[in-house]
Structure 1
Amino acid sequence: EVGVLNREISSLKAHIKDLQMNIRVLYEQTKKVFKDQFQMFREFIKNELGNKGIDNQFEREHKKKMRRSQDFDMER
């Protein structure tokens, strides 16, 4: 009975690893799609704000987030 439980545990661990990999792939693909779709939106906003001479808070926040993300990745 212990052997059966150990096999089930091993099987579940393998299944969990597969699910984690699938989630990672889905996350990366979703991130890529959103990046592609919103690139035009960001350019439009940037151009509109630039034409009006408005301080671009959106761009500053985006750059700040990207720096934090890079810093976090470097810590790993």
Structure 2
Amino acid sequence: MESVNTKALSGLQTGEQGQVVRITAKGPVRRRILEMGITPGTEIRVTGTAPLGDPLKVSVKGYHLSLRKKEAACIFVEVV
């Protein structure tokens, strides 16, 4: 059973953070996400968005990444 505070990373606003609970992506996209260090249990924070909302800027494990909204929609977090 998932918490009511669980939502897709793409649904978080700038400044919000959460703990990764599930990654639904498949194939190469899933592998790329995992290789970037975004794994279940990892804390992740949305630090900004591009002017048109895509990509998202996130901070994970002390470094900054940019993720497409489509990729971020496959990453579910429990909002902290």
The TM-score with structure 1 as length reference comes to 0.22
Q: Name which structure has the greater RCO, CA cutoff 8 Å, separation 6+.
A: 2
In our comparison, the structure showing a higher alpha carbon Rg is 1
Name the structure with the higher helix share.
Answer: 1
Bigger fraction of residues in strand: 2
* Structure 2 length-normalised TM: 0.21
